[in-house]
Amino acid sequence: MKNPAATNPLRVTSEEVLGWFRRHRQPWPSEPACEALAFKMNRMLRLEPPSAEFVKYHLSAEQGASAEKLAERWWDVDIVADAANLVLEALPKLIGHWEKLQWSPETADGYRALIDLQTALSKAMPYIEAPFGEFEPLVGYKPPKTWHSAAMILFVEVGKMLAGAGHQLPDTPSRNTILVQITREAILRLTIKDGRPEAPALAQFLDRFGQRGGMTTKHIAGLCSQDRP
């Protein structure tokens, strides 16, 4: 049987995954566990089809809505705002034109209608230009790194593998722990843009993720015990 990695060097193999663990002390994860992680990483590399749950979510009524259905619900904010501003800028001239025609009962309503439109449109402009509220930049906000999402997934998977093999997971994922070292190996293997975190930065992020996201090493060990028959 032809080795899949020979035809696609991006593909992660179970042997490669096991090699990461063999650089550290025993016990090592089983071959099926390494195959499972390799498969999930290949999904992240889009070398395997997505899971049924992923497909179901993205093909749901909301996520899988056609362009026509989305067009019925949403609008181009900039185009609508530009059009409203164009009308508002032209209204003084329109009003001036119809003001001269108030002498006729047939044209008198035009002046009053345009005055009402000017008042209403002026009042509505803030809601037309900012239908979702005014933009307020977050003070001190730092956008997530490109490797953050992969790190959270791999942190949990590697932690489950270590716990399943018999390792005691550390209370805190410090930079020198096997958990952080192998998670970093996996992130580097995915060749994510800007995805080469140093061990200290990765450990700090994983600790923050665990504390804020409720996925501490204790929780990961608990997930591992639930997976056992």
Whether 66 maps to a domain, the answer reads no
Is 54 part of any domain?
Answer: no
Structural domain boundaries, residue 81: 74-129
For the residues 116-125, what does the mean pLDDT come to? 93
Report CA Rg, the chain. Answer: 30
The separation between CA 166 and the C-alpha centre of its own chain, rounded to angstroms, equals: 33
Residues 186 and 118 reside in one and the same domain:
no
Cα torsion through 98, 99, 103, 109, rounded to 10? 60
162 and 216 belong to one structural domain:
yes
Answer yes or no: do 159 and 217 share one domain: yes
**Is 61 part of any domain?**
no
Q: Is residue 88 part of a domain?
A: yes
Is 56 inside a domain boundary? no
* pLDDT exceeds cutoff 50 at 134: yes
User: Is residue 1 pLDDT above 60, yes or no?
Assistant: no
Q: What percentage of residues in the chain have a pLDDT greater than 70?
A: 81
Q: What is the mean pLDDT of residues 60-69?
A: 55
**Is there a single domain that holds both residue 217 and residue 154?**
yes
The CA-atom distances, in angstroms, between 160 and each of 28, 73, 147 are 12, 43, 20
The answer, yes or no, to whether residue 156 has pLDDT greater than 70, is yes
Question: What number of residues does the chain have?
Answer: 229
Helix (H/G/I), strand (E/B), else coil: 123: helix
How many of the other CB atoms lie within 10 Å of CB of 170?
16
Q: Is the domain of 151 the same as that of 125? A: no
> For the whole model, what pTM was predicted?
0.61
pLDDT of res. 2 = 44
Domains contained in the chain, number:
2
Structure tokens at 168: 């005691």
